[in-house]
Amino acid sequence: MDTAKVVGKPAFASFIERQAEEVSVVAPVARAAGEFSYGEVQDASSLEEEEYIPTLSSPKKYLLPPQEALFRFSSPADSAVHEGEELEYTADVEQKRRILLAVRPCDIAAIHRMDQVFSDTEPDPHYLARRRAAIIIGLDCLEPCDELAFCAAVGTSDADEGFDLLLTDLGEDWLVRVGTDQGAELLEECQEIRDATEQDLQRLKDVVQAKEKVFRKCQERLDFPGEDIPEVLEGSEDSPVWDEYGDRCLGCGRCNLVCPTCFCFDVEDTVSLDLKEGERTRRWDGCTLLEFAAVAGGENFRRERSDRLRHMFLHKGKYGPERYGDLYCIGCGRCARTCLAGIDHPEVYNALMRHRDKGDDHG
């Protein structure tokens, strides 16, 4: 660890309050009984939640909004935009400084994966501008959020990188791990903060050690090591497991909507009533939806629900790791929490493993 600091919780809270006066601060806030989601906050009360309930969706929406304009177009002539006159195009990228507060290790891992996708080959200026303007203050999990999480099984229950600052609860104090220069700079504005002592670091070590035990059950949700997921998926294409779960799947796309590593989007044009200006927007899309792979000529390359479900699993568990070296499922459990058919990813992986062991997946 590069540097670690310690600050009393009230001092850190007033630091956040001061930040909120200057920049946008977003953190998990209670929306209804037992329901949290990320929203703008003015203080650090999110850090004080007694029982943390995972947010319905991840902080992804602040980097890749559910809907955003890619550019605007207008017709300088007295004609509608689609009538073939030369148009004026304007594109803005949002660069609003924003602190993402209380981001959990699984979501920190997810943001790292989104960074990979959006900087790959043709960098996406919209995502990257937001990302560069974002400051991530992580919050370590000392216990699993619920029984559907399986972060410990896929190696995302601890964060070693991907944050500017990471908070660990030491009771009266926060232990603050500094991940980047940007994080260090920000902390200069935090009062009553001191370097961590040997004793503090020992406390951190104890806390981290205690995690291992507390997260054992979470880790055991998967019957095999998470790093073997690509191998388990290898050659699973014809497994009957996909038919079984494909039958249950409603193809509703809710899992895609809440997944912190789903990045697919649809693109749509909208025009003003006089048809003289408009914008091209992108909005989240989902690979489990029927029309996702359909082309204009009528062909649909993944017509069956089982094809689409399998594609999603293979993308998260095999294709993603093959290209980027990381699992694209970060074990947050959000898909299972929201799935109307109760499809739970570790359950599917375990079923694939059992079928593979029985050797009946090549039927």
Partner 1 sequence: MTRSEHHAKSLYVPESAEIVDRKTMTNDETWYHLRFKSGRTLGHEPGQFVQVSIPGVGEAPISITSPPSMTDGFELCIRHVGNVTNAIRQLGKGNVVGIRGPFGTSFDLAAVRGYDILFVAGGLGLVPLRPVIHTALEERDQYGRIIIFYGTRSPDTVLYREDLKKWQSDPSVDCHITVDLADDTWRGHVGLVTELFHLVSMDGENTGAFICGPDIMFRFVLAEARAIGISDDMVFLSLERRMKCGVGKCGHCQEGPFFVCRDGPCFSYDQLQETLQREWTE
Is position 48 an interface residue for partner 1 (rule: CB under 8 A)?
no
Comparison of 169 and 234: residue with beta carbon closer to partner 1: 234
Tell the smallest beta-carbon distance from residue 78 to partner 1 (Å).
Answer: 15
Q: What 8-state DSSP symbol labels residue 163?
A: -
Based on the shown chain and the rule CB under 8 A, indicate whether residue 266 belongs to the binding site for partner 1.
Answer: yes
Cβ distance to partner 1 smaller for residue 267 or 340:
267
Contact flag: residue 94 with partner 1 (CB under 8 A):
no
Smallest separation, CB 165 to partner 1 (Å): 29
Question: In angstroms, what is the minimal distance from the CB of 164 to partner 1?
Answer: 24
Q: Does 360 engage in binding with partner 1 (CB under 8 A)?
A: no
On the CB side of 358, how many CA atoms lie within 13 Å of its CA? Answer: 12
322 binds partner 1 (CB under 8 A): yes
Query: Total number of residues binding partner 1 (CB under 8 A)?
Result: 53
Residue 120 or 220 with smaller CB distance to partner 1: 120
What is the separation of C-alpha 346 from the centre of its chain, rounded to a whole number of angstroms?
Answer: 18
Minimum CB–partner distance for residue 354 and partner 1 (Å) = 21
Task: Identify the residue among 40, 267, 340, 360 touching partner 1 (CB under 8 A).
Answer: 267
Yes or no: say if 101 and 44 are a contact pair by the CB < 8 Å rule.
Answer: yes
Interface with partner 1, residue 309, by CB under 8 A = no
Distance, in Å, from the CA atom of 112 to the CA atom of 272, rounded to the nearest integer, reads: 37
Q: In sequence order, which residues have a C-beta less than 8 Å from that of residue 196 and are 6 or more positions away? A: 3, 4, 5, 6, 175, 204
> Per the structure block, which two tokens stand in for 243?
């038919």
- What residues numbered 277-296 form the site for partner 1, per CB under 8 A? 278, 280, 282, 285, 287, 292-296
Exposure string of 168-194, with b = 16+ CB inside 10 Å and e = fewer, is: bbbeebbbbbbbbeebeebbeebeebe
Tokens for 67, please give them: 């809907």
- How far is residue 15 from each of residues 41, 162, 166, 188, 189, measured CA to CA in Å? 13, 22, 15, 10, 7
* Contact of 265 with 59, CB cutoff 8 Å: no
Which residues of this protein are in contact with partner 1, per CB under 8 A? Answer: 70-71, 73, 80-87, 89, 91, 117-118, 120-125, 237-238, 263-269, 271, 275, 278, 280, 282, 285, 287, 292-297, 299, 301, 307, 311, 314-315, 318-319, 322-323
